[in-house]
């Protein structure tokens, strides 16, 4: 029952949080001068436009996953490196802000004394998974956001040299994900971010 409940909450995250994450990428790209995502309908909150089958299944059953990468044409950015960096960071930043909003809601409900066990459990899963996704997406491996951030930080020659091994790196990441090797650093980073958000909302404790 507990596992089924968690999967149901993750399904809610899949149709509510993932679209916000992807829409943030598209809006950031538009703000930086590239309207490719907007023109291809990727600045909508419709989850069907964004969901990736494998990434969705992993999110439901492993708690970590991804969506279809938002299309970006760096030639349209006023500053290609800065444009890609802002676009890549927009999704994880949206997750963190959303987690902050849910933490505030959670604390307000507790202060009001009107939160049931199931609602409390669901909100805690949403907070943790939303931050999890932000941390996970910053891993510099395609199709995750961190790989796009690499394009902004590394010289083109170095980036393309790394991407020659994209399939091998992706396979290694999948193996690390399923064997739990990535779990400890991701959980520690997640716990640290949640602790920071909790301190920010100290006035509601």
DSSP codes joined into one string, 129-172: HHHHHHHHHTSSSTTSHHHHHHHHHS-HHHHHHHHTTHHHHHHH
Quick one: DSSP state of residue 76? G
- Which one, of 18, 93, 100, 22, lies nearest residue 58 by Cα? 18
Contact in structure between 70 and 37 (CB atoms under 8 Å): yes
Within its chain, how far is the Cα of 85 from the centroid? Answer: 15
Contact in structure between 158 and 151 (CB atoms under 8 Å): no
Active-site residue numbers? 22
Distance between start and end Cα atoms, the chain: 30
């Amino acid at each position: 029952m507990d596992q089924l409940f968690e999967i149901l909450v993750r399904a809610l995250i899949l149709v509510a949080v993932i679209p916000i994450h992807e829409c943030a990428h598209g809006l950031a790209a538009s703000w930086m001068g590239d309207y490719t995502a907007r023109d291809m309908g990727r600045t909508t909150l419709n989850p069907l436009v964004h969901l990736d089958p494998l990434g969705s299944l992993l999110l439901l059953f492993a708690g970590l996953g991804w969506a279809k990468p938002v299309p970006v044409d760096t030639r349209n950015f006023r500053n290609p490196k800065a444009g890609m960096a802002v676009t890549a960071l927009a999704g994880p930043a949206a997750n963190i802000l959303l987690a902050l909003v849910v933490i505030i809601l959670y604390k307000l409900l507790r202060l009001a004394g009107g939160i049931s066990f199931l609602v409390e459990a669901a909100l805690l899963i949403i907070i943790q998974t939303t931050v999890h996704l932000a941390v996970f997406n910053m891993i510099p491996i395609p199709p995750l956001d961190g790989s796009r951030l690499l394009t902004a930080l590394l010289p083109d020659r170095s980036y393309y040299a790394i991407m020659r091994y994209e399939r091998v790196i992706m396979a290694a990441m999948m193996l690390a994900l399923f064997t739990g090797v990535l779990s400890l650093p991701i959980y520690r980073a997640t716990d640290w971010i949640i602790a920071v958000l909790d301190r920010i909302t100290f006035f509601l404790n």
